[in-house]
């Protein structure tokens, strides 16, 4: 799957490209509206990540272009923290999702996965690992052919981790993904910890290998 | 005591004292003058009597002309003495007069006519003069009273008029708010001192305002400018953490760096939020059903409530809809509820949320003691809970202030209660 990243900030762009490439996506990038539209005309992408604030105008233009010429393509817009209007406008003209800067790379990866799933790219609606199948349409988790009884939060955490395979997910990223900035740090970390503990226990009871690894002090890793 | 009242009191006291002294002096002078007048009359009577006696006129004849009581008696031998004036009080009480004591003055002298010595007493009443004196005093007293009242009122009027620019200045300084970018404009005055005062205050406030804005701008800039590098640092550390071949020591250092960065990042975010509220960047409002909003927020935080097994009691006494900014309401309710959860007991904790027509209150059991009210809403005043940024309550206060609401805090039997009057 090919993803176009339209972002003018070099450091962020490089991080995003690296991270998504590691997660198995093919990434191209553009830094201006002009070059982005050129690339969009040449290559068919599954998803585009569009920064709204570009040097030669608003990324909204690109979203409009995509929706006009390739409505099947997934679009995630990236906005500055306090530009609510950009966000609303972007969603109105057909962006699938939005991220506000700054974001955790794992969050981006999870969003990209979610958009691609919704847009049915690659024809798969579930994440399949050895003995573990996460059906994101039905929101079911099947371990060794038996459906696991997970709570909503446990399921969300599992999907988030599984959509970032091999990567370390910090506890902050996980807490942010689940509660946004609504929850206080210390309390939410404790909660994440206990949820992960339960999740590991349930996976363990289903005779699965240890998918979730706890990296002391840092976070969690999904090992497929 | 007001300046006007104070000056007025002093002026009045001084005036009354001066007048009293004046009256006393006038009274004394009048009395002395009257005495002299009486003496003159008595002496002129003496001359007439002596002349009359010398002329051989029978005393009875000229006595009636004089209109004064005269007593003449023969004495055997003339003793030499000068005119003697004697004051005495004659008791005249009778059926006809009500005045019983009459002040009299008599002149006693001896004269020799045709070798015969006579002792003559001429009497004159002093009462008339005394009465006149008393009348004068009464008139003066009335005059004094009236003038004191008039002076008092006039003083007040003039002072009020003169001091009005001062009071104007005072009231304007009192209502002056450094946060509002207003320039003080005082009443024009032709009094040099007030003019100077106004100018000085104007310069002073302008200086304070400019300093305040510079300082505010500086802190805002620091927060804003710090945000981007902070997020870059944070992302880079996250990327560093993706590597796995660290020694235990490197791992520990990385974790500590990451935690500190996250903390700084969140702190900065909180400060920016405070500034944005202060700068009125959340002005757009929507009508929000508070019951629904509270239910939603509690639901979001349900995980934490359940983790601590806190019993949440919600009492909705009214269906309240408020015109409020949704972001601010979310921040407000979140912080109120998160505090109530965070500082709650580990076992058997409760939270009671009460919504009334004009108020919302959150009560929670807690392990922490009463919070010192003085610093309650100050930034970074926190009970030593790890991970707490100490911005929650000051965010609540900021929002409450923004809407001109009022928040109270009370502590009773281990229960903390925050109540917001809307």
What does the domain layout of chain B look like in residue ranges? 3-150, 192-278, 286-421
Q: Which residues of A touch B255 (CB under 8 A)?
A: 216-218
Q: Which residues of B touch A190 (CB under 8 A)?
A: 307
Same domain, A23 and A87: yes
d(CA A179, CA A23): 24
Q: Strand pairing partners for B323?
A: B287
CB of B385 less than 8 A from some CB of A: yes
pLDDT of amino acid A76 = 92
Describe the strand order of the beta sheet including A126-129 as a list of residue ranges. Answer: A126-129, A132-135, A140-143, A146-147
d(CA A169, CA B178): 46
Cβ neighbors of B225 (< 8 A, separation 6 or more) are none
Fold agreement between B3-150 and B192-278: no
Give me the total of CB pairs closer than 8 Å, taking one residue from chain A and one from chain B: 81
The ipTM (two decimal places) reads: 0.76
Residue B324 has pLDDT above 80, yes or no: yes
Q: Using the beta-carbon criterion (under 8 Å), do A15 and B235 form an inter-chain contact?
A: yes
User: C-alpha distances in angstroms, A9 versus A31, A68, A76, B88?
Assistant: 8, 26, 17, 120
CB of B276 less than 8 A from some CB of A: yes
Q: Around Cβ B60, how many Cβ atoms within 10 Å?
A: 8
Identity of the residue in A12, A191, A216 whose CB atom sits nearest the CB atom of B304: A191
Q: Which of A16, A17, A182 to mutate to test the interface with B (most CBs of B within 10 A)?
A: A182
> End-to-end distance of chain B based on CA atoms, in angstroms?
37
**Between B349 and B244, whose confidence is greater?**
B349
CATH pick for B286-421 out of 3.90.76.10, 2.30.30.30, 3.30.565.10, 3.30.460.10: 3.30.565.10
Q: Using the beta-carbon criterion (under 8 Å), do B388 and A186 form an inter-chain contact?
A: yes
Same domain, A113 and A213: no
How far away is chain B from the Cα of A102, in angstroms, using its nearest Cα? Answer: 6
d(CA B415, CA B142): 70
Q: Do A39 and A70 contact (CB within 8 A), yes or no?
A: no
Least-confidence region, from B45-54, B171-180, B217-226, B381-390: B381-390
Answer yes or no: is A44 within a domain.
Answer: yes
Whole-model pTM above 0.80? Answer: no
Q: Using the beta-carbon criterion (under 8 Å), do A18 and B239 form an inter-chain contact?
A: yes
Q: Which residues of B touch A168 (CB under 8 A)?
A: 238, 241-242
For residue range A99-126, list pLDDT tens digits in order: 888 788 888 988 898 888 877 655 557 7
Identity of the residue in A170, A187, A217 whose CB atom sits nearest the CB atom of B304: A187
Same domain, A111 and A9: yes
- The dotted CATH code for B192-278 is 1.10.287.130
For residue range B374-389, list pLDDT tens digits in order: 667 766 665 544 445 5
Q: Using the beta-carbon criterion (under 8 Å), do B238 and A173 form an inter-chain contact?
A: yes
pLDDT of amino acid B384 = 47
Q: Which residues of A touch B304 (CB under 8 A)?
A: 183, 187-188, 191
Answer yes or no: is A20 within a domain.
Answer: yes
Q: Does domain B3-150 have CATH number 3.40.50?
A: no
Confidence bin at B100 (pLDDT 50/70/90)? low
**Between B244 and B419, whose confidence is greater?**
B419
Same domain, A105 and A185: no
Same domain, A28 and A68: yes
Q: Contacts by B199-208 with C-beta closer than 8 Å and gap 24+?
A: B201/B169, B201/B173, B205/B173, B205/B176, B208/B178
Q: Using the beta-carbon criterion (under 8 Å), do B238 and A183 form an inter-chain contact?
A: no
Q: Using the beta-carbon criterion (under 8 Å), do A186 and B301 form an inter-chain contact?
A: no
Counting the structural domains of chain A, the total is 2
Q: Which residues of B touch A101 (CB under 8 A)?
A: 231
Q: Using the beta-carbon criterion (under 8 Å), do B281 and A183 form an inter-chain contact?
A: no
Structural domain boundaries, residue A7? 2-122
Answer yes or no: is A26 within a domain.
Answer: yes
CB of A196 less than 8 A from some CB of B: no
């Amino acid at each position: 799957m090919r993803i176009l990243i339209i972002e003018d900030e070099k450091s962020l762009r490089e991080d995003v490209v690296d991270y998504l490439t590691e997660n198995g996506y093919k990434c191209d990038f553009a830094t201006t509206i002009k070059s982005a539209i050129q690339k969009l005309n040449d290559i068919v992408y599954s998803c585009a990540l569009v920064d709204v604030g570009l040097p030669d105008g608003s990324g909204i233009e690109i979203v409009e272009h995509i929706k006009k010429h390739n409505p099947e393509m997934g679009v995630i817009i990236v906005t500055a923290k306090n530009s609510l209007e950009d966000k609303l406008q972007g969603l109105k003209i057909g962006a699938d999702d939005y991220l506000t800067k700054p974001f955790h790379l794992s969050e981006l990866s999870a969003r990209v996965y979610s958009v691609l799933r919704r847009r049915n790219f690659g024809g798969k609606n579930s994440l399949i690992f050895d003995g573990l199948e996460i059906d994101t349409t039905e929101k079911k988790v099947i371990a060794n052919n038996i459906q696991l009884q997970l709570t909503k939060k446990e399921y969300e955490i599992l999907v988030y981790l599984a959509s970032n395979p091999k990567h370390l997910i910090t506890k902050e990223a996980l807490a942010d993904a689940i509660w946004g900035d609504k929850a206080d740090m210390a309390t939410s970390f404790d909660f994440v910890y206990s949820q992960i503990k339960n999740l590991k226990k349930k996976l363990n009871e289903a005779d699965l290998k240890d998918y979730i690894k706890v990296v002391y002090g840092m976070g969690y890793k999904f090992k497929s | 005591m007001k300046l006007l009242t104070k000056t007025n009191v002093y002026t009045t006291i001084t005036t009354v004292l001066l007048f009293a002294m004046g009256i006393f002096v006038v009274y004394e002078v009048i009395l002395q003058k009257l005495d002299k007048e009486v003496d003159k009359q008595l002496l002129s009577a003496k001359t007439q009597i002596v002349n009359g006696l010398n002329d051989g006129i029978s005393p009875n004849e000229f006595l009636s002309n004089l209109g004064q009581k005269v007593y003449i008696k023969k004495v055997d031998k003339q003793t030499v003495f000068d005119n003697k004036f004697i004051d005495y009080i004659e008791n005249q009480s009778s059926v006809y007069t009500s005045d019983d004591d009459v002040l009299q003055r008599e002149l006693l002298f001896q004269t020799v006519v045709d070798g015969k010595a006579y002792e003559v007493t001429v009497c004159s009443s002093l009462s008339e003069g005394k009465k006149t004196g008393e009348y004068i005093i009464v008139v003066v007293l009335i005059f004094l009273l009236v003038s004191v009242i008039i002076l008092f009122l006039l003083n007040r009027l003039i002072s009020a008029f003169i001091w009005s620019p001062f009071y104007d200045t005072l009231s304007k300084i009192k209502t002056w708010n450094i946060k509002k970018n207003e320039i003080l404009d005082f009443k024009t005055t032709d009094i040099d001192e007030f003019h100077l005062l106004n100018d000085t205050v104007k310069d002073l406030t302008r200086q304070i305002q400019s300093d305040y804005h510079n300082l505010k701008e500086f802190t805002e800039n620091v927060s804003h400018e710090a945000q981007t590098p902070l997020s870059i640092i944070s992302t880079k550390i996250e990327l560093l953490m993706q590597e796995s071949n660290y020694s235990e020591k490197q791992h520990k250092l990385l974790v500590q760096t990451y935690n500190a960065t996250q903390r700084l990042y969140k702190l900065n975010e909180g400060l920016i939020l405070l500034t944005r509220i202060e700068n009125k960047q959340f002005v757009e409002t929507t009508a929000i059903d508070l019951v629904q909003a509270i239910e939603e927020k509690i639901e979001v935080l349900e995980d934490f409530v359940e983790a601590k097994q806190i019993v949440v009691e919600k009492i909705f006494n009214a269906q309240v809809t408020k015109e409020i900014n949704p972001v601010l309401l979310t921040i407000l309710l979140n912080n109120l509820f998160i505090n109530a959860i965070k500082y709650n007991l580990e076992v058997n904790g409760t939270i009671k949320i009460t919504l009334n027509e004009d108020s919302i209150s959150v009560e929670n059991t807690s392990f922490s003691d009463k919070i010192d009210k003085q610093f309650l809403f100050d930034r970074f005043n926190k009970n030593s809970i790890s991970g707490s940024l100490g911005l929650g309550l000051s965010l609540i206060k900021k929002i409450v202030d923004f809407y001109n609401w009022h928040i109270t805090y009370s502590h009773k039997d281990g229960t903390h209660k925050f109540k917001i009057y809307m």
